[in-house]
Chain A
Amino acid sequence: DSGVTQTPKHLITATGQRVTLRCSPRSGDLSVYWYQQSLDQGLQFLIQYYNGEERAKGNILERFSAQQFPDLHSELNLSSLELGDSALYFCASSATGVLYNEQFFGPGTRLTVL
């Protein structure tokens, strides 16, 4: 158990809808990262937040947005969902804002868009 929690575990929704994924980092960690993992693409880094502020951006679509709250939990919002958004979404956390520090991954949220 990494200490990172994600909810929900599974999410099934329809095209065009909007969903919110939630992540709580390990106690004491200030950075939260979001990743998308689909079968044919592997893990893709989406975005990093550090102590409430956006820190680094990867391949995040404009339809996706994230934020980190004062209690350091984070939410990833996915809107205008398409079939291709079906994937595992992982959240990770680390102690500092340095991108390449060891990250601890949560169990993931499996999103299915029908």
Chain B
Amino acid sequence: KNQVEQSPQSLIILEGKNCTLQCNYTVSPFSNLRWYKQDTGRGPVSLTIMTFSENTKSNGRYTATLDADTKQSSLHITASQLSDSASYICVVSTADYGGSQGNLIFGKGTKLSVKP
């Protein structure tokens, strides 16, 4: 069964500190992995996307890594700010083969709270 598991479920850190969020997936056939940031009550916004051959992708203070062998990804946030408080969602796409349109499998997200 295609699944995406994220950890931790929630995290509290102090402003200025770094943190790392984890995403493990059992999705086949794999197409790509995307991290979204979702502020409370709002729609998700894409942070990074990585294909099978990419190990690292950065977007400002956000750096995502992908290990396709172990089927793990992480999102590292450096020098956290109060505005980083949000849910971070890992999404894995299955490949589009032979007429099948593929699918999107979402993790349940990690809720990050950055405190002053």
Residues on A lying within 8 angstroms of B by beta carbon are 2, 4, 41-45, 48, 55-58, 88, 90, 92, 98-100, 102-108
Is B106 a contact partner of A43 (Cβ separation < 8 A)? yes
* Partner pick for A90 among B31, B43, B102, CB 8 A cutoff: B43
With A42-B107, A43-B89 as contacts: A103 and B46 at CB distance below 8 Å:
yes
Is A107 a contact partner of B102 (Cβ separation < 8 A)? no
Q: How many A-B residue pairs have CB under 8 A?
A: 61
Closest residue of chain B to A100 (Cβ to Cβ) is: B93
Is B44 a contact partner of A43 (Cβ separation < 8 A)? yes
* Interface residue ranges of B71-109 to A (CB < 8 Å): 89, 91, 93, 96, 101-109
Residues on B lying within 8 angstroms of A by beta carbon are 31-32, 34, 41-46, 49, 89, 91, 93, 96, 101-109
Q: How far is the CA of A74 from the CA of B96 in the complex (A)?
A: 23
Give chain A residues whose Cβ lies under 8 Å from the Cβ of B101.
48, 55-57, 99
With A100-B34, A107-B42 as contacts: A58 and B103 at CB distance below 8 Å:
yes
Contact sample, A vs B, 9 pairs, CB 8 Å cutoff: A42-B109, A43-B89, A56-B103, A58-B104, A99-B102, A100-B93, A105-B43, A105-B44, A108-B41
With A48-B101, A90-B43, A92-B43 as contacts: A99 and B93 at CB distance below 8 Å:
yes
Q: How far is the CB of B54 from chain A (nearest CB, A)?
A: 13
**New A-B pairs, 17, CB < 8 Å, besides A55-B101, A88-B41, A100-B31:** A4-B43, A42-B107, A43-B109, A45-B103, A45-B105, A90-B44, A92-B43, A99-B103, A100-B32, A100-B34, A100-B102, A102-B46, A102-B49, A104-B43, A105-B45, A106-B43, A108-B41
